[in-house]
Amino acid sequence: MTKTKKVGSTGRFGVRYGRTIRQKVLDVEKKQKKKHKCPFCNKTAVKRVFVGVYECKVCKVKFAGKAYFPKE
């Protein structure tokens, strides 16, 4: 599977599910996969480990957050 600039990671869905739903999934996945700010050391080094669990790569602390991103 390849992804293109326009559809990004949602290219795996092809033409299924409609454009607006695929666009919403793309927005959530972009937020989910980027690095977030650590609430303990204030560095941008937090990655999602699995659903609701995040880990800072600098201070090595694990903490709970929301399913797709730590907090908002």
**Domains in the chain, ordered, with CATH?**
1-33 (no CATH), 34-72 (2.20.25.30)
Global pTM?
0.76
- pLDDT average, residue stretch 4-15: 86
Cα 56 to Cα 18, 42, 62, distances in angstroms: 36, 10, 7
CA torsion sign for 45, 50, 53, 55 is: negative
pLDDT in the model for residue 13: 92
CB atoms closer than 10 angstroms to residue 1: 6
pLDDT tens-digit map of 29-67? 998 889 999 999 999 999 999 999 999 999 999 999 999
**Could you tell me how many residues make up the chain?**
72
DSSP H or E stretch at residue 28 = helix 19-33
Backbone angles phi, psi at 25, to 5 degrees: -65, -40
